[in-house]
A and B are shown apart, each in its own frame.
Chain A
Amino acid sequence: GDALLREDQRLPNQLRALAAEPGALSRANGSARFSHDGTQVLAAVWGPGEVRRARERPDRATLEVVVRPHAGLAGPLERELEQLLLSTLAHVVLLALHPRTLISVVIQPLMDDGALLAVAMHASCVALMHAGIPLRGMLGACTVALTPDRRVLLDPSRSEEAAAAAIATLAFLVRLPSAAAADGPCELLLSH
């Protein structure tokens, strides 16, 4: 009934409207703007390009993620976002195909209305696809909020996140189902 509806009239398991715009930047090798309604993230990808000797790896590409806040200097929140994105993207990108190169992903949140990590993951995935970097599959992410009265809400807004008892983001490696496999395999990459 109506008691189930959230503040923005969504059902508990209903996601917000998704919008993707690949090629938002003209100079980057790959770029994308991704939004879940009120949360918008811009991602740019550079590579495979030159890498400093110190960071060069002989068997695979070096992956770098930089998160720039929309205002002020980067702090611990940005660093945490970078680490989570780095460990997730390392499972998605086929790094072994470009040894001794650098693949750089730069993320800039433009608007934050909750579920920032999930939107950043989606933006990075579209930007990597736009750049033509080889990937094992596509990245699908979802933020889940557990309210104090034991309700599970998907894709929470900022106010819902603030009022939640616990928040988790799940990321999956998604492959579209083919004729060979009836259901597309999804691999859980991150649970944070």
Chain B
Amino acid sequence: KMGTTLAADGPCAPNLPVLDCPVFPGDALAKVGDFERVVLGSGVVREGDVLVSTRVGILRWDAEMARLWVQTEQRRYVAAQGDHVIGVVVGTHADEYRVDIGSAAAAMLPVLSFDGATKRNRPHLAGGALVYARVVVANKDMDPEISCAAPPGVSSKDWVTGESLFGELQGGHTFSCPASLCAVLALEDEECPVLEALSQVSPFEMAVGNNGRVWINAREPSMAILAQQAMLLCHTYPVHDHARLVHELATACRSDR
């Protein structure tokens, strides 16, 4: 807690002229004293009593967590705690799996980090297997650690049943996409016209990783390709065009057969 507050709408909301504006590396964003409480998000560092941007992007304020961050398109994934990621098993050891999630260092997945897993009854993942997991430990000094156990607040289903939220992803097709698209697809509260339009073409299963990977499982390969192309295409179009674009792609796909 620092100094006096500049309250606009609430105790934590700042009164910054640069909010929601483009910022460049080295730009002074605000004084620490302007906030009652602030969490430094990605792209913001503190130099003395001034908050400085380290990237090119739009300055955002997350009121829920009092977080100041710079929204930018970083191609290389940097692990952050709480992210949901899709990884590929690249090594098996006695107590852990080594999983590639796209970050600089491979992540560690403890062998028993599955709901209801014991030493005798646990999933055996081979090299090349896909997993959907949650990042449990992520900081700049350590290799990231992931887990397939249900987070607190979500009911845990045994890994044997195949109904648990995290775990191995069987079959399907994975592709890479920009992190901002993953953020849009993963939103639970808001509607996603692309996904609704695609579900009307044919039902399919999907997992979205914050690390820029999306997994799609559909009965027909053509549906998986259609879904991939639709999602990548709609990312560059305004929202009201999405339903129409999906419809056009689906008709073109059907007419080619």
Q: Which of A's residues lie within 8 Å of B, judged by CB?
A: 29-30, 46-51, 94, 97-102, 129-132, 134-138, 173-176, 178-181
Contact = CB atoms under 8 A, between A and B. Distances in A.
B233 interface: no
Contacts of B25: 129, 134-138
A7 B75 CA distance: 43
| Interface pairs A-B: 9 shortest CB-CB | A137-B26, A132-B74, A175-B26, A134-B54, A135-B25, A101-B104, A178-B28, A29-B75, A29-B76
A99 B54 contact: no
6 contacts: A100-B105, A102-B104, A132-B55, A135-B54, A138-B26, A181-B28
Given A30-B75, A173-B26, A129 B55 contact: yes
Given A132-B76, A138-B24, 5 more contacts: A50-B104, A98-B104, A129-B25, A132-B56, A134-B45
Interface in B21-65: 24-28, 31, 43, 45, 50, 54-56
B140 A132 contact: no
B76 A176 contact: no
Given A129-B55, A131-B76, A132-B76, A48 B104 contact: yes
Given A135-B25, A136-B26, A176-B24, A48 B76 contact: yes
B140 A98 contact: yes
B78 A48 contact: yes
Interface of B: 17, 24-28, 31, 43, 45, 50, 54-56, 72-76, 78, 104-105, 140-141
Contacts of B140: 97-99
B27 to A, nearest CB: 6
B45 A94 contact: yes
A180 B75 contact: no
Given A30-B75, A50-B104, A131-B76, A179 B26 contact: no
What secondary structure prevails in chain B residues at the interface with A?
Answer: loop
Contacts of A47: 76, 104
Contacts of B31: 180
Given A49-B76, A135-B54, A135-B55, A100 B27 contact: no
A97 B78 CA distance: 11
A180 B56 contact: no
Given A94-B45, A99-B140, A131 B26 contact: no
A152 B235 CA distance: 50
Nearest to A129: B56
Contacts of A48: 76, 78, 104
A30 B74 CA distance: 9
A102 B104 CA distance: 8
A132 B43 CA distance: 9
Nearest to A187: B26
A192 to B, nearest CB: 22
Contacts of B26: 135-138, 173-176
A132 B28 contact: no
A174 B28 CA distance: 12
Given A29-B76, A48-B76, A49-B104, A134 B43 contact: yes
B151 to A, nearest CB: 27
Contacts of B78: 48, 98
Contact of B104 (A100, A129, A130): A100
Nearest to A128: B25
B74 to A, nearest CB: 3
A29 B178 CA distance: 11
A173 B26 CA distance: 9
Contacts of A130: 56
Most chain A Cβ neighbours within 10 Å, of B25, B43, B105, B141: B25
A29 B78 CA distance: 12
Contact of B54 (A50, A102, A136, A174): A136
B180 to A, nearest CB: 12
A96 to B, nearest CB: 8
